[in-house]
Structure 1
């Protein structure tokens, strides 16, 4: 079952040290490794000493946790993490990331600010930017980190092959988080042209571009263009001053009754939105991220940055997929084995009974695998799963036969003890002894057949047992003086015919068992193919949804640019939209081919596996 970690207080996820730079903290990774639930990752960034930590504590449902501080010095260094049970989504964990203030003048080297911002963006599913006063030019200039994102993030490992291909930055909105701008100590009226406007409209108005072609206007527009292009989903909240000035230095101790009522109402509205609307963290391709995977992402990104390279999402996801698919196979096989051990009581009376349990356990293991596995190279991992499950099943089949044989042999030895004693004592070395022996033996055989729990090898073991006693039976027959030689020969032939019929019946059962095994293998193959098709089709739908969202975003931005008088920019946006529409058709076509290829490879792998075990 998925598990979460209840953290009493935040821990440092990423330390920003003067001597070593950015360092991932092992304690945080170990805590995340225990979170197997999907995570909703809400991060906050912005200038230092703007009250970010207070809002994060309230999102955690607490007053204290992230350090607030009461001086002009920045308290948070690096990125701190707090995992709490999600208040609105059962089975999910809310991961809160509080980052050190951007632009802290006490830092001797501010180059890490950009990487802190990039990492926060890459790890979060909702990114909140916290500032004070108003959304004006100064506030936007403090968010200058968006201007260089194309230099610090790569979407694809390979460079563009032609001028018609879109740059990575044209697709950033496909995986960038929801963007929420928080404006603290807001004192203006939400009005425009004499009409009341919403907080979201206030943000969009602040992001409007200037139509002039002067250098000043170009500088004015740059950050706004990046925000509009990179963040398709944008939200804004404004907050009044929360309390009297004397209470601000220890705001975490101020009771709600002492807070400004307007601020408290705004705070409740903000928390409700984040709890109810913040999405689950996903990576390109749509795979849902758990706490364990979030830790791996953080470690991978930091390792790349420390090496001097630029994080590449395609490479990171592929490496993560390879490791996670291997782990998914291992976990699914372990689940299958555990379920079989719990549910199968050896020996089973029939092979069908064992294979019925196998089918149910295999289905549950396959469901677990598909829920955890990435779509990248999934058919290879699934073929490995089939191979390993088949091996475990064969072990159970062999154990089933062995336990049945052992029980049957023990039962026959116990039943025939008195008969063998009688043979040793000469009880059948008398006239009519052979018929007496046959009667006693048949009575014991009947008792044996009535015994329960012998398993599927009852007939085969009995046949082998009686075959092993043929010489003994013939010696009793030859010693019976009441029978003529002709009668003795007739009895021998009858016994031989009976054993021959038993051989035929055993062979028929053996052939039937082989047929049942083949049918089960066919069922298994069809089940794997069906579930893989469903999984790949679902992945295709998710990819098309992302593409459709990007197309809608571009269409909206194109309309806005035309309204603002930027025909050249609008035409470029139209060109991007057409390219995205072309890519959508290619994705649909490629996925159809990928699905068929994946199914073909899986079927071939299954055929090889089952031929090996045949």
Structure 2
């Protein structure tokens, strides 16, 4: 199915219809360039809803309902070879301006006609890795057969690594569940959609909710026999990998003879109960689906999601196991480099708009620089993530320092041109008199000095000369010294003694002017050093604020995991599963220790303190000036 895109100035790239994002050709997965380019064009945060499940279970119909369309994802795509893989549809998020809803429809799992189904697990794993809400669609009830069909969940630790330093690709059985906390940071919310459900929702004579039905189906059996372990393992995986779970049941949408024309049927032609159930499902997904994030709370845009798709598919095709932490670090390298470039461009754009050259003083330029630099650093902070060693922030500091110096040099050049133009205009008459020999007469030296003083006085009255005013004047007067000496020596009205005195006076004035220029240069150097100090303090403040925000986000993640594990532990204790409860107790204690460490002042100081070391690598002599700032920060913390 081909579809053109229509772009929005707000950063969305909406699709009139779905496109194939990941194509499945037997044993090979490949990314489709057209869909990837459209996804990469989405600069807004994305909420990603993926649907997985067995073929011929009506997955695509649910996704079309979420898209608000009767047609879109092909309802027969699970048996059409040209639509294998993962299909994507980017749409404006309902009632959430500034966000994009990304729908991912996956090919049907377990299709016996495919022969080799090893890619099914990879399709399932990609749906888990890319989504913020995962919908598992199945037919009928949640029985042992349904659990057996969901064996893809039990293989997640074999198909996905959470941390690069984990030393392996996970495992199966109980060993594969030793550290579910790291997976939970990445994994989506889980919704089980049960289609054509015909049972009464009752348990022990009382009516129960869909969620209670799901939780009852996920109860574990006691014992350590092989058949008990086999029964428990998929249930443990769902419980531990997906602490946030929801269940929806659906009646049959219409009679069997009409199912083939479901796309054409209006809501009034469908079973009213099914229509209401589908509406409740959509409302829940719209209301609860969160922006896709990566650990630390960094929000994923369509651009970043496209990079993740590329990274994961390339890893799978290379024969390796996708590692979530490695993918995030690779993404951070790319994104932080882009963040430096974007921030530098922001700085240049602001400087070109605000800076009018030449400025009268260096502090005037530095003040404008400080405003533009602050906004540029804010731009960098908004995009950068996991810059743990602060190398990218230091690179930005060096880049902005270099650009500031270039603007200073440009300011001097513009000022010099202005000053030379003024002096050339004022000195025209004097130079004409020199050529005419007007000063080569008795008392000519006195008139020459008087005319030169008039030029200096009129020059000083001129405005908008800029920072090179004194330097240009000193150079101009220095250029007239040899002419003045010649006129002085030829002046017959002066005695030798008077000539010596006049020569000494001229040299004294020249030395004084040179000292004034040197004092100005020294003052400018001190102003620039003070500006570097201000720049570092501003960078530290923004970094400290960013780290504090990230800590709050991380603590929120930890809180969610703690609550889910405490709830799970209580359920295990209540069911008499002491071993499982003990393992959860260790994970809970580990999370609590992490929370305590993160709330210590030293946690923030250890993360921001590296900026001084990183900056000293890029900006010579920076470490000493930064030391006082870091010390003050530590005292404040």
TM-score surpassing 0.5? yes
Larger deviation, residues 300-309 vs 211-220: 211-220
Q: What is the 5 A alignment of 1:397-408?
A: 397-408=408-419
- Name the counterpart of 1:6: 14
Q: Counterpart of 2:47 in 1: which secondary structure?
A: strand
| 1:216 CA displacement | 4.8
Mapping 1:165-184, distance limit 5 Å: 167-169=178-180, 171-184=182-195
Deviation of 1:120 after TM superposition, in Å, equals: 0.7
CA shift, 1:439, in A, is 3.7
Structural mapping, 1:596-607, within 5 Å? 597-602=609-614, 604-605=616-617
Cα distance change of structure 1 residues 396 and 73 upon mapping to structure 2, 3 Å threshold: closer
User: 1:119 corresponds to which residue?
Assistant: 126
Task: Report the CA distance shift for 1:333/1:73 in structure 2 as closer, same or farther (over 3 A).
Answer: closer
**Out of 271, 285, 291, which is 1:260 matched to?**
271
Q: How far 1:80 sits from its partner (Å)? A: 0.6
Kept after mapping to 1: 8 A contact 2:615/2:622: no
Contact 2:389–2:611 under 8 Å retained in 1: no
1:311 aligns with 2:329: no
* Aligned CA distance change for structure 1 residues 248 and 29 (closer, same or farther; 3 Å): same
Distance 1:62 1:71, change over 3 A: same
Q: How does 1:180-259 map to 2 (within 5 A)?
A: 180-211=191-222, 216-259=227-270
Secondary structure of 1:50's counterpart equals coil
- Following the alignment from structure 2 to structure 1, what is the Cα–Cα distance between the partners of residues 189 and 23? 25
5+ residue gaps in structure 1? none
1:99 is the counterpart of 2:102: no
Question: Could you tell me which of 149, 154, 169 is aligned with 1:147?
Answer: 154
CA drift of 1:79 comes to 0.4
SS of alignment partner, residue 250 of structure 1? helix
Are 2:466 and 1:455 aligned?
A: yes
1:456 Cα deviation (Å)? Answer: 0.7
Corresponding residue for 1:547? 558
Unaligned runs of 5+ in 2: 1-8, 169-173, 626-637
Change (3 A) 1:452 1:63: farther
| 8 Å CA contact 1:284, 1:313 repeated in 2 | no
Conserved? CA contact 1:340–1:361, under 8 Å:
yes
1:215 CA drift (Å): 5.2
How many residue pairs are counted as aligned between the two chains?
611
What's the Cα RMSD here? 3.0
Q: Secondary structure at the match of 1:375?
A: coil
Query: Is this contact kept in 1: 2:46–2:301, CA < 8 A?
Result: yes
Q: Report whether the alignment pairs 1:394 with 2:401.
A: no
Query: Which range moved further: 515-524 or 211-220?
Result: 211-220
Change (3 A) 1:421 1:54: same
| Residue in structure 2 matching 1:57, options 61, 64, 69 | 64
* Cα offset, 1:486, TM superposition: 4.5
Which residue of 1 is the match for residue 115 of structure 2?
108
User: Do 1:125 and 1:280's aligned partners in 2 also have CA atoms closer than 8 Å?
Assistant: yes
Q: Which deviates further from its counterpart, 77-86 or 580-589? A: 580-589
Q: How does 1:509-524 map to 2 (within 5 A)?
A: 509-524=520-535
- Tell me the distance in 1 between the aligned counterparts of 2:41 and 2:321: 29
Q: Is the CA contact (8 Å cut-off) linking 2:329 and 2:386 kept in structure 1?
A: no
Distance 1:152 1:552 in 2: 27
User: Equivalents in 1 of 2:10, 2:77: separation in Å?
Assistant: 39
CA distance in 1 between counterparts of 2:107 and 2:314 reads 20
Shift of residue 524 of structure 1?
0.9
Instruction: Report how far residue 488 of structure 1 moved.
Output: 4.3
**What is aligned with 1:476?**
487
What secondary structure sits across from 2:437 in the alignment?
Answer: coil
Correspondence for 1:129:
136
Correspondence for 2:630: none
Counterparts of 2:303 and 2:78, CA distance in 1: 36
1:26 to 33, 36, 59: 33
- Normalised TM-score (structure 1): 0.91
CA pair 73-14 structure 1, distance change in 2 beyond 3 A: closer
* Alpha-carbon distance between aligned partners in 2 of 1:164 and 1:259, rounded to the nearest angstrom: 47
CA gap of 1:491–1:261, structure 2 versus 1, over 3 A, is: farther
The answer to whether the 8 A contact 2:163-2:182 is kept is no
1:354: how far off?
1.3
Asked if 1:338 corresponds to 2:349, the answer is yes
Higher relative contact order (CA 8 A, sep 6+): 1
Distance 1:514 1:166, change over 3 A: farther
Farther-moved stretch of structure 1 (422-431 vs 452-461):
422-431
